[in-house]
Amino acid sequence: MNVTELTPFLELNNGVNMPQVGLGVFKMDDEQAEEATRYAIDVAGYRAIDTAAVYGNEAGVGRAIAASKVDREDLFITTKLWNDNQGYDETLQAFEESMKKLDLSYLDLYLIHWPKPQLDKALDTWRAFERLYDEGLIRAIGVSNFKPHHLDALLAQANIIPAVNQIELHPMMSQIETREYCEQREIKIEAWSPLMQAGELLDHPVIQGIANVHSKEPAQVVLRWHVQSGFLVIPKSKTPERIKDNIEIFTFELSPEEMLQIDSLNSNRRIGPDPDKL
């Protein structure tokens, strides 16, 4: 079965299509990110990779892209601007450095990693994002970890509405308020730590029970919940078998009752920082 043909795209608010499932490469060193990206693209059929300047592995991702037989135009690469580099000139410079490390001539999606309102630089940063977008160096621009009140401030001044908001999102932290806010403004939600970094969520009896019914792995059930909920999703794994499992989620479907059972696990439990406190 050709996984790529089965992996849907979601259309962003500027008409760009983004693969719904991508590989996250957080907590991988350069070599691990190169190896995981290579396996994901060339063997498992991924077409989207999510990295960030602060992960320190853009060069590894870039090497895997350069070595891949898959055409650049068929890949969707995301990186993120780190907090220390917010500001207009700082952003332009940080973008150039990321592109050098990734060894790319254009980027598919660039995200402001955290809102950091105390810096008061998000608007200047966004102006630089808009310039890079207008110059054709980035196909879509977005944000990460923005709550509705952070987006309110940005949207009041922005010329371009963010295409994506990448937030912590999994069945135990289902982010209803931010999801509704973004849906109303055609900002696509992308789930980070979609598996809640494994452990507790994958061991939960509800997830295990549904996995048994479908003869699937618990992680596949959770990722299927994300996909059926309409989210972009970027599970991280450096383990080949799991990288493969995590995209092979398009040959089964959760029933409405199973979706509700998983929805009911929400307890607004973060595993990462609260964007207002970072």
Ligand X SMILES: NC(=O)c1ccc[n+]([C@@H]2O[C@H](COP(=O)([O-])OP(=O)(O)OC[C@H]3O[C@@H](n4cnc5c(N)ncnc54)[C@H](OP(=O)(O)O)[C@@H]3O)[C@@H](O)[C@H]2O)c1
Name the site residues for ligand X (rule: CB under 6 A): 24-26, 50, 113, 144-145, 166, 192-198, 202, 217, 219, 234-239, 242, 245-246, 272
Nearer residue to ligand X within complex by CB, 27 or 134: 27
Would you say 241 and 216 are in contact if contact means Cβ atoms under 8 Å apart?
no
Kindly state the smallest distance separating residue 18's Cβ from ligand X, in Å.
Answer: 14
**Which residue's Cβ lies closest to ligand X?**
24
Is beta strand 9-11 parallel, antiparallel or unpaired with respect to 17-19? antiparallel
The smaller minimum CB distance to ligand X, of residues 89 and 149, is found at 149
Q: Shortest approach of ligand X to residue 125 CB, angstroms?
A: 15
Provide the token pair at 81: 């601007």
d(Cα 144, Cα 165) in Å, to the nearest integer?
A: 5
Q: How far is the CB of 91 from ligand X (least distance, A)?
A: 17
Catalytic residue among 39, 55, 133, 181: 55
Kind of pairing, strands 164-168 and 17-19? Answer: unpaired
The secondary structure of 84-122, three-state, reads HHCCHHHHHHHHHHHHHHHCCCCEEEEEECCCCHHHCCH
- The CA distance from 277 to 40, in Å, is 34
CB closer to ligand X out of 134 and 203: 203
Minimum CB distance to ligand X smaller for 85 or for 193: 193
Radius of gyration of the chain (CA): 18
Which is closer to ligand X, CB of 28 or CB of 104? Answer: 28
Least spacing, CB of residue 111 vs ligand X, in Å:
7
**8 Å CB contact between 144 and 167:** yes
Least spacing, CB of residue 195 vs ligand X, in Å: 3
Rounded CA gap, 38 and 222, in Å? Answer: 24
Q: Are 117 and 152 in contact (CB under 8 A)?
A: no
106: annotated active-site residue: no
Mapping DSSP to helix (H, G, I), strand (E, B) and coil, where does residue 232 land?
strand
Supply the residues annotated as catalytic. 55
